[in-house]
A and B are shown apart, each in its own frame.
Chain A
Amino acid sequence: MEITVTVNGTGYTRDVEPRLLLVHFLRDTLGLTGTHWGCDTSNCGVCVAWLDETPVKTCTVLAVMADGHRVRTVEDLATGDTLDPVQQGFSDRHGLQCGFCTPGMLMTARRLLDDDPDPSEATIREAISGQICRCTGYENIVRSVRAAAEIERTADQEARA
Chain B
Amino acid sequence: MTTTDPDTGFRALDATPMGYGSMRRKEDARFVRGKGRYLDDIVLPGMLHAAILRSPHAHARIVSIDTSAAEAHPRVRAVITGETLAGLGLAWMPTLSHDVQSVLATDKVRFQGQEVAFVVAEDRYSARDALALVDVEYDPLPAVIDAQHALDADAPVIRDDQEGRTDNHIFDWEAGDAAATDDVFARADVVSSCDMLYPRSHPAPMETCGSIASMDPVSGKLTVYTTTQAPHAHRTVYALVAGLPEHKIQIISPDIGGGFGNKVGIYPGYVCAVVGSIVTGAPVKWTEDRSENLMSTSFARDYHMRGEIAATHDGKLLGVRVTVLADHGAFNGTAQPSKMPAGLFHVFSGSYDLAAAHCAVTGVYTNKAPGGVAYACSFRITEAVYLIERLVDVLAHDQGWDPAELRRTNLLRSEQFPYTTALGWEYDSGDYPRTLATALDMAGYDELRAEQKQVRSAYERGESPMLMGIGLSFFTEAVGAGPRRTMDILGLGMADGAELRIHPTGKAVLRLSCMTQGQGHQTTFAQIVAEELGISPDDIEVVQGDTDQTPFGLGTYGSRSTPVSGAATAMVARKVRDRARIVAAAMLEVSPDDLEWEKGAFRVAGDPAAAATMNEIAMAAHSDLELPDDVEGHLDATCVYNPPNLTYPCGAYVCVVDVDTATGQVKVRRFVAVDDCGVRINPMVVEGQVHGGLADGIGMALMEVMAFDTDGNHLGASFMDYLLPTAMECPSWELGETVTPSPHHPIGAKGVGESATVGSPPAVTNAVLDAIRVRHADMPLTPAAVWRAVRGTPLRTDLAIG
Which residues of A are in contact with B by a Cβ distance under 8 Å?
A: 17, 19-20, 24, 27-28, 31-41, 43-44, 46, 73-75, 77-78, 83, 87, 90-94, 96-103, 106, 121, 124-126, 128-143, 146
CA distance A126 to B727 in the complex (A): 7
CA distance A50 to B91 in the complex (A): 45
B124 is an interface residue with CB less than 8 A from chain A: yes
Contact residue among B10, B688, B694, B726 (Cβ-Cβ distance under 8 Å from A129): B726
Dominant SS among interface residues on chain A: loop
CA distance A161 to B520 in the complex (A): 39
Whether B718 lies near A99 (C-beta < 8 A) is no
Contact residue among B35, B258, B719 (Cβ-Cβ distance under 8 Å from A98): B258
Whether B691 lies near A137 (C-beta < 8 A) is yes
- Residues 685 to 702 of chain B near chain A (Cβ within 8 Å): 685, 687-695
Question: A143 to chain B: which residues have CB within 8 Å?
Answer: 8, 10
Whether A103 lies near B206 (C-beta < 8 A) is no
Whether A135 lies near B258 (C-beta < 8 A) is yes
Contact residue among B32, B687, B689, B694 (Cβ-Cβ distance under 8 Å from A96): B32
Whether A38 lies near B688 (C-beta < 8 A) is no
Among A17, A94, A141, residue most surrounded by chain B Cβ atoms (within 10 Å): A94
Whether B41 lies near A33 (C-beta < 8 A) is yes
Question: A90 to chain B: which residues have CB within 8 Å?
Answer: 28, 32
Whether A137 lies near B695 (C-beta < 8 A) is yes
Whether A134 lies near B727 (C-beta < 8 A) is no
Among B257, B687, B720, B732, residue most surrounded by chain A Cβ atoms (within 10 Å): B257
Nearest chain B CB to A74 CB, angstrom units? 4
Whether A134 lies near B35 (C-beta < 8 A) is no
Question: A136 to chain B: which residues have CB within 8 Å?
Answer: 688, 691-692, 695
Question: B33 to chain A: which residues have CB within 8 Å?
Answer: 34, 74-75, 77-78, 83, 87
With A28-B124, A33-B41, A90-B28 already in contact, the answer to whether A140 and B691 are too (CB < 8 A) is yes
B588 is an interface residue with CB less than 8 A from chain A: no
With A28-B124, A41-B718, A98-B258 already in contact, the answer to whether A131 and B34 are too (CB < 8 A) is no
With A136-B691, A140-B688 already in contact, the answer to whether A87 and B32 are too (CB < 8 A) is yes
Among A20, A93, A128, residue most surrounded by chain B Cβ atoms (within 10 Å): A93
10 pairs of A and B residues whose beta carbons are closest in the complex: A34-B34, A98-B518, A100-B257, A99-B31, A137-B691, A74-B34, A43-B719, A97-B518, A137-B695, A33-B41
Contact residue among A96, A98, A129 (Cβ-Cβ distance under 8 Å from B727): A129
Question: B255 to chain A: which residues have CB within 8 Å?
Answer: 98-99
Whether B720 lies near A43 (C-beta < 8 A) is yes
Whether A132 lies near B726 (C-beta < 8 A) is yes
With A94-B688, A100-B258 already in contact, the answer to whether A134 and B718 are too (CB < 8 A) is no
Question: A96 to chain B: which residues have CB within 8 Å?
Answer: 28, 31-32, 518
Contact residue among B125, B518, B727 (Cβ-Cβ distance under 8 Å from A125): B727
CA distance A75 to B8 in the complex (A): 29
Among A34, A93, A134, residue most surrounded by chain B Cβ atoms (within 10 Å): A134
Question: A106 to chain B: which residues have CB within 8 Å?
Answer: 32
With A75-B33, A98-B257 already in contact, the answer to whether A128 and B727 are too (CB < 8 A) is yes
B160 is an interface residue with CB less than 8 A from chain A: no
Contact residue among B13, B32, B256, B691 (Cβ-Cβ distance under 8 Å from A139): B691
Question: B290 to chain A: which residues have CB within 8 Å?
Answer: 38-41, 44
Whether A36 lies near B726 (C-beta < 8 A) is no
CA distance A129 to B692 in the complex (A): 16
Among A31, A73, A96, A135, residue most surrounded by chain B Cβ atoms (within 10 Å): A135
Question: A39 to chain B: which residues have CB within 8 Å?
Answer: 290, 718-719
B244 is an interface residue with CB less than 8 A from chain A: no
CA distance A40 to B206 in the complex (A): 12
Whether A97 lies near B688 (C-beta < 8 A) is yes
CA distance A102 to B205 in the complex (A): 13
Interface bits B191-211 vs A (CB < 8 Å: 1, else 0): 000000000000111111000
Whether B206 lies near A94 (C-beta < 8 A) is no
26 contacts between A and B (CB under 8 A): A31-B43, A37-B40, A40-B289, A40-B718, A43-B718, A74-B34, A75-B33, A92-B24, A94-B684, A97-B258, A97-B689, A98-B206, A99-B27, A100-B258, A124-B727, A131-B726, A132-B726, A134-B260, A134-B724, A135-B518, A136-B692, A137-B690, A137-B694, A138-B727, A143-B8, A146-B8
Nearest chain B CB to A152 CB, angstrom units? 16
Nearest chain A CB to B418 CB, angstrom units? 32
Question: B257 to chain A: which residues have CB within 8 Å?
Answer: 36, 98-100
Whether A17 lies near B34 (C-beta < 8 A) is no
Whether B125 lies near A100 (C-beta < 8 A) is no
With A90-B28, A132-B719 already in contact, the answer to whether A99 and B289 are too (CB < 8 A) is no
Among A73, A75, A99, A138, residue most surrounded by chain B Cβ atoms (within 10 Å): A99
With A92-B24, A99-B518, A139-B730 already in contact, the answer to whether A41 and B720 are too (CB < 8 A) is yes
With A33-B41, A39-B719, A99-B257 already in contact, the answer to whether A137 and B24 are too (CB < 8 A) is no
CA distance A101 to B32 in the complex (A): 10
- Residues 31 to 54 of chain B near chain A (Cβ within 8 Å): 31-38, 40-41, 43
Question: B685 to chain A: which residues have CB within 8 Å?
Answer: 94
With A43-B720, A129-B726, A134-B258 already in contact, the answer to whether A91 and B24 are too (CB < 8 A) is yes
Nearest chain A CB to B289 CB, angstrom units? 6
Nearest chain B CB to A51 CB, angstrom units? 17
B25 is an interface residue with CB less than 8 A from chain A: yes
CA distance A97 to B37 in the complex (A): 14
Question: B35 to chain A: which residues have CB within 8 Å?
Answer: 34
Nearest chain A CB to B693 CB, angstrom units? 8
CA distance A99 to B25 in the complex (A): 11
Contact residue among B204, B517, B687, B727 (Cβ-Cβ distance under 8 Å from A141): B727
CA distance A106 to B693 in the complex (A): 22
Among B124, B687, B726, B728, residue most surrounded by chain A Cβ atoms (within 10 Å): B726
Question: B30 to chain A: which residues have CB within 8 Å?
Answer: 99
Nearest chain B CB to A77 CB, angstrom units? 8
Question: A46 to chain B: which residues have CB within 8 Å?
Answer: 206
Nearest chain B CB to A149 CB, angstrom units? 12
Nearest chain B CB to A26 CB, angstrom units? 10
Question: B693 to chain A: which residues have CB within 8 Å?
Answer: 137
**Chain A residue nearest in CB terms to B694:** A137
CA distance A44 to B28 in the complex (A): 21
Question: B690 to chain A: which residues have CB within 8 Å?
Answer: 137
**Chain A residue nearest in CB terms to B722:** A43
B236 is an interface residue with CB less than 8 A from chain A: no
Nearest chain B CB to A18 CB, angstrom units? 11
Among A28, A40, A130, A138, residue most surrounded by chain B Cβ atoms (within 10 Å): A138
CA distance A120 to B740 in the complex (A): 37
**Chain A residue nearest in CB terms to B690:** A137
Whether B692 lies near A102 (C-beta < 8 A) is no
With A40-B291, A132-B724 already in contact, the answer to whether A103 and B34 are too (CB < 8 A) is yes
Whether B719 lies near A41 (C-beta < 8 A) is yes
**Chain B residue nearest in CB terms to A33:** B41
Question: A40 to chain B: which residues have CB within 8 Å?
Answer: 289-291, 718
Nearest chain A CB to B203 CB, angstrom units? 8
Given contacts A44-B290, A94-B687, 12 further A-B contacts (CB under 8 A): A38-B208, A38-B290, A40-B290, A43-B719, A97-B689, A99-B255, A100-B257, A133-B206, A135-B692, A136-B691, A140-B688, A143-B8
B223 is an interface residue with CB less than 8 A from chain A: no
Question: B259 to chain A: which residues have CB within 8 Å?
Answer: 98
Whether B34 lies near A91 (C-beta < 8 A) is no
Nearest chain A CB to B30 CB, angstrom units? 8
With A38-B207, A139-B730, A142-B727 already in contact, the answer to whether A44 and B719 are too (CB < 8 A) is yes
Whether B206 lies near A36 (C-beta < 8 A) is yes
Question: A121 to chain B: which residues have CB within 8 Å?
Answer: 732
B638 is an interface residue with CB less than 8 A from chain A: no
Question: B8 to chain A: which residues have CB within 8 Å?
Answer: 143, 146
Nearest chain B CB to A53 CB, angstrom units? 19
CA distance A103 to B41 in the complex (A): 14
CA distance A106 to B730 in the complex (A): 19
Nearest chain A CB to B720 CB, angstrom units? 5
Question: A83 to chain B: which residues have CB within 8 Å?
Answer: 32-33
